[in-house]
Structure 1
Amino acid sequence: MLEKKGSIFSVREDLKVFDCTIRDGGLVNNYHFTDEFVKAHYEMCVAAGIDYMEIGKNVSPTIMSEEEYGCWNFCKEKDIRRVIGDNNTALKIAVMADVGRTLKEEIPPKDESVVDMIRVATYIHQLPEAIDLIEDFHAKGYETTCNIMAISKSFDDELDEVLAQVGKSSVDVIYIADSFGSFYPEQINKLTGKYLEVAKASGKQVGIHAHNNLQLAYANTLEAMIYGTSFLDVTVSGLGRGAGNCPMELLVGFLKNPKYKLTPVLKFIEEFIVPLEKELDWGYSVPYMITGKLNEHPRPAMKARDEGDTQYVKFYNKLTEEYS
């Protein structure tokens, strides 16, 4: 039986609010955020007391086209420094490394970079490569996480074995990733217990990255937090792939730690997100709900949204036939 960690009125020093707006939001517009947008977002994170800002991915330009994708898909040192300088603030900067798209030889030592943390995103079958990246980044001086994706498609024994291997690595944080936005709080509760057991035994922490297909990203984040998860992923206004993520403004408004400030977040939404909503499509919708309910990747829903398809019964029947 899991015990609650603290109360809703307590301040927990282990909690870290982790912003993914540019990285997860970049999946909506192929990382074509302007320098003005990213700089304003960075300044908002500093003013709001956010602990980490994930400024993008460090995909190798030899693997994905720099003509098709914006610079935040590659996060070259010169581009990051152009916007945030040397980052002489309490905010830590993170990037994400996708297994198979990030080349470790292109990643400089930590003392040559303004980046503090590298998060390694991996599917279960890629785990050996993920651990190889983690060990390399750790040896170079970075904080690291392991974000194991699509765990809703795994079997219990398989996930147990994966967690055991990750627990033996040098990684700092192990992430519960609800890739398809298909988990309910009861399931997140059980996963939190499973991940914490491994993390505590190996001196690591646990994080959660939730998607909002079933409008449960916020609820699932709180559930994981209440029972001991420390790293809490958010994006401003839920900006992220498909149905988006746990909204920063909801979590910052909930936490009782006075270091977190809501006003800078609201100001950024007012000035930058409201105009962006007229250009980009993200957030809860019926097609995303259906893929979440069916525990499937949101690709079909993204296609339906792009095409303006509102034949929801036909969409649902088609998917249930395909996945039955």
Structure 2
Amino acid sequence: MKEVSKLLEVRESIRVVDATLRDGGLVNDFYFSDEFAKALYLTNIKAGVDYMEMGYRADKEQFDESKFGPWKFSSDEYIRKIVGDNDTDLKIAIMADVGRCNYKEDIHPKAESPVDLIRVATYLHQLPGAVEMIEDADKKGYETTCNIMAISTSSKEDIKAALDIVCQTPISCVYIVDSYGSLYPEQIERIADLYCNAAAKYGKKVGMHAHDNQKLAFANTIEACGDNVDFLDATYNSMGRGAGNCAMELLLGFLKNPKYKERYAIKFVEDYMMPLKEQGVVWGYDMQYLTTGLLNQHPRTAIEFTKQARKDYFAFYQEMLNLD
């Protein structure tokens, strides 16, 4: 059990990262209105959020622009349309996936960009590519972090080796990523210890990005927080791929630093997230996502189940057991 002081104290090193446009964009192909994006930006400022992830910097040669909204590509020009010169304390971030971003051409020098942070996302087998991207972004003047995805399918030895490699790069933070929403708080405690020990060796911080397949995204995030993880990802009303993520309104309500103000998050959920759901955008916990979380599987099959408006949850569960 965590010491009460771990959960009640104000820890100045904590940073809250809003991933709504990016992870939430996976739900609606990044078709957010400019009004939505601007309101989200202003809400983050008022709520005390530290970073706003504006979307992906995806390669337009790999992804058809006509099939996605602007935040799939989050160009510097489009970001400026929303944030202007961003003369605020809120830092702007984008995510760049290894193998899906033409980073040498599409990520411009920091002096020419409104972006502060490049979040490099990688699987273990892509780590050499991630190192190249991190070093490139650092040379261009950006803060960098690294999200090592799908760690629930990797061995402890492989994770330790990966951490030793990535923590020697210029990143400021390495993320625990529960991509499949399959991890439990007891596991997060052990994983956080592994990450924090590796990160401390090189003076790095650790972050947490959770998914809600088993309704544990918030629990796992505050568990990680109590285990000295500093960078905490969240999305408004949990909007994110499949079952979604840790809810911003929950996280801000939990954190004790008075700079974080959940009332603005609650107002944004009422004004903008509820209308999205009323328009038919679907995300959040459901039985199909529970199934893939329990079985530690990628949620792509559950996402397809959702798109087909299937309701035969037990048949799907049986199908997944046969695939496992």
- Structure-2 residue corresponding to 1:259: 259
For the residues of structure 2 that align with 1:286 and 1:45, how far apart are their CA atoms?
Answer: 31
For the residues of structure 2 that align with 1:134 and 1:65, how far apart are their CA atoms?
Answer: 25
Structure 1 position 186, deviation (Å): 0.8
- Choose 10-19 or 163-172, whichever is displaced more: 163-172
- Choose 128-137 or 259-268, whichever is displaced more: 259-268
Structure 1 position 38, deviation (Å): 0.2
- Structure-2 residue corresponding to 1:58: 57
- TM-score norm. by structure 2 comes to 0.97
Which residues of 2 match residues 229-308 of structure 1 at below 5 A?
A: 229-278=229-278, 279-308=280-309
DSSP 3-state at the match of 2:8 = coil
- Choose 187-196 or 3-12, whichever is displaced more: 3-12
- Structure-2 residue corresponding to 1:94: 93
- Choose 302-311 or 17-26, whichever is displaced more: 302-311
- TM-score norm. by structure 1 comes to 0.97
Q: Does 1:118 align with 2:118?
A: yes
Q: Does 1:140 align with 2:164?
A: no
For the residues of structure 1 that align with 2:322 and 2:110, how far apart are their CA atoms?
Answer: 50
- Structure-1 residue corresponding to 2:162: 162
- Structure-2 residue corresponding to 1:20: 19
Unmatched runs of 5 consecutive residues or more in structure 1: none
Distance 1:170 1:224, change over 3 A: same
Q: Does 1:74 align with 2:69?
A: no
Q: Is the 8 A contact 1:236 1:265 kept in 2?
A: yes
Q: Is the 8 A contact 1:6 1:226 kept in 2?
A: no
DSSP 3-state at the match of 2:49 = coil
Q: Is the 8 A contact 1:144 1:172 kept in 2?
A: yes
Structure 1 position 156, deviation (Å): 1.5
How many residues are paired up? 322
For the residues of structure 2 that align with 1:154 and 1:93, how far apart are their CA atoms?
Answer: 31
- Structure-2 residue corresponding to 1:184: 184
- Structure-2 residue corresponding to 1:317: 318
DSSP 3-state at the match of 1:100 = coil
Unmatched runs of 5 consecutive residues or more in structure 2: none
Identity %: 48
DSSP 3-state at the match of 2:108 = coil
For the residues of structure 2 that align with 1:213 and 1:8, how far apart are their CA atoms?
Answer: 24
1:137-174 residue CA offsets vs partner (Å, 9 max, x unmatched): 01111111110011111112111111111121111100
For the residues of structure 1 that align with 2:240 and 2:24, how far apart are their CA atoms?
Answer: 4
Structure 1 position 104, deviation (Å): 2.0
- Structure-1 residue corresponding to 2:39: 40
1:41-67 residue CA offsets vs partner (Å, 9 max, x unmatched): 000000100000001011121221110
Q: Is the 8 A contact 1:31 1:73 kept in 2?
A: yes
For the residues of structure 1 that align with 2:305 and 2:13, how far apart are their CA atoms?
Answer: 41
Structure 1 position 8, deviation (Å): 2.3
Q: 1:286 corresponds to which letter in structure 2? A: M
Q: Is the 8 A contact 2:291 2:317 kept in 1?
A: yes
Q: Is the 8 A contact 1:4 1:228 kept in 2?
A: no
1:212-236 residue CA offsets vs partner (Å, 9 max, x unmatched): 0000000000110001000000000
Structure 1 position 205, deviation (Å): 0.2
Q: Does 1:10 align with 2:3?
A: no
Q: Is the 8 A contact 2:160 2:198 kept in 1?
A: no
Distance 1:143 1:4, change over 3 A: farther
- Choose 156-165 or 241-250, whichever is displaced more: 156-165
Q: Is the 8 A contact 2:54 2:71 kept in 1?
A: yes
Structure 1 position 7, deviation (Å): 2.7
Please, what is the CA RMSD of the aligned residues? 1.2
1:111-162 residue CA offsets vs partner (Å, 9 max, x unmatched): 1111000000001110000000000101111111110011111112111111
Q: 1:28 corresponds to which letter in structure 2? A: V
For the residues of structure 1 that align with 2:5 and 2:99, how far apart are their CA atoms?
Answer: 40
DSSP 3-state at the match of 2:174 = strand
- Choose 277-286 or 174-183, whichever is displaced more: 277-286
Q: Is the 8 A contact 1:120 1:134 kept in 2?
A: yes
